[in-house]
Amino acid sequence: MTEISRMSEGGYAYVPGVFQYSAGVAALSGFRIERVRFSEVVPLQEGFSRVAKHLESLGRPLAAFCACELRSPGQFSEEGFRTFNAAYGDVLRKWGIIRDEINPVARANVCPEGMGPDEPGFHAFCYTVPSEQEDHSFVIAGSGEAPEGKGNYRDHIIRRGDTSPEGCAKRQDGCSTRWNAVWLSSEQAGRRPRVCSFIRSMTFTSWCQRRSSVAGPPDMA
């Protein structure tokens, strides 16, 4: 049985993941997930400020922030990614979202090829609002290229260096696992699921050539 936790103050359930993000979120009964996309990438701290102002304008608590789509100019080193995640996590702690080092917010962070921003920032974000609708919106997130919780990414990349259809399909299994987990959380809530956003590597039907957030070893170039 997939482990499901609740962020009751935010109006959503989530599949626990790692410190950086949960594996996915699903609106609880009486809520739905809405998505806002910025016209251009907004630097991280300014993006958080805009998110907070938007939620305040709707009368929603900061806890309603449940997912985000980030863009970065290039791949991080392992150490650089830890530094980035620390700054990201500090805001969520101040907002009262991260508690006991558990992060319920789903997230994707990718590096668009040839069209990246000058610095890491927000492309889009999701939040919950009260709703009488019967369908159940959800968002999935996470990495299909490597399993989580292994200490680093580069030593655990699935089929490293293999760009064949079979290799890509094997990595896609990681995304499918999260899809099934969050879909299950919707079914457990007894409601018909409605996809709000698949944020692993796409934005609805908008696709871009991109690289993962963390740089791999030389043979991944």
Q: What is the mean pLDDT of residues 36-41?
A: 95
Residue 142, pLDDT score:
59
Residue 23, pLDDT score:
82
Tokens of 30: 């009486």
Q: How far is CA 205 from CA 9, 42, 59, 85, 201, in A?
A: 31, 21, 30, 27, 10
SS3 88: helix
CB atoms within 10 A of CB 94: 11
Residue 15, pLDDT score:
85
For 10-38, give the secondary structure using H, E and C: CCEEEECCCCCCECEEEECCCEEEEEEEE
Strand partners, 70: 109, 122
Tokens of 149: 């919780």
CA angle (21 as vertex; 15, 25 as ends), nearest 5: 40
Between 87 and 195, the more confident residue is 87
> Highest mean pLDDT: which of 99-108, 178-187, 191-200?
99-108
Distance CA 128, CA 136 (A): 11
Residue with tokens 């993941």, as numbered in its chain: 17
Least-confidence region, from 75-79, 153-157, 198-202: 198-202
Residue 135, pLDDT score:
62
Least-confidence region, from 9-18, 38-47, 52-61: 9-18
Strands 136-140 and 121-130: unpaired
Q: What is the mean pLDDT of residues 56-84?
A: 92
DSSP 41: E
> Residue 71 belongs to what H/E stretch?
strand 65-71
Q: What is the mean pLDDT of residues 65-71?
A: 95
Between 198 and 5, the more confident residue is 5
**pLDDT confidence tier of residue 175, bands split at 50, 70 and 90:** low
Least-confidence region, from 8-22, 69-83, 125-139, 170-184: 170-184
Tokens of 29: 């009964």
Query: Whose CA is closest to 95, among 121, 125, 65?
Result: 65
Q: What is the mean pLDDT of residues 173-180?
A: 52
Strands 136-140 and 24-27: antiparallel
Least-confidence region, from 44-48, 55-59, 120-124, 206-210: 206-210
The answer to whether 126 touches 34, Cβ cutoff 8 Å, is: yes
Query: What residues does each domain of the chain span?
Result: 5-216
Residue 190, pLDDT score:
46
Is the pLDDT confidence value at 24 over 90? no
Is the pLDDT confidence value at 53 over 80? yes
For the entire predicted model, the pTM comes to 0.75
**pLDDT confidence tier of residue 130, bands split at 50, 70 and 90:** very high
Strands 106-112 and 121-130: unpaired
Residue 57, pLDDT score:
98
DSSP string, 165-185: HHHHHHHHHHHHHHHHHHHHH
Residue 218, pLDDT score:
38
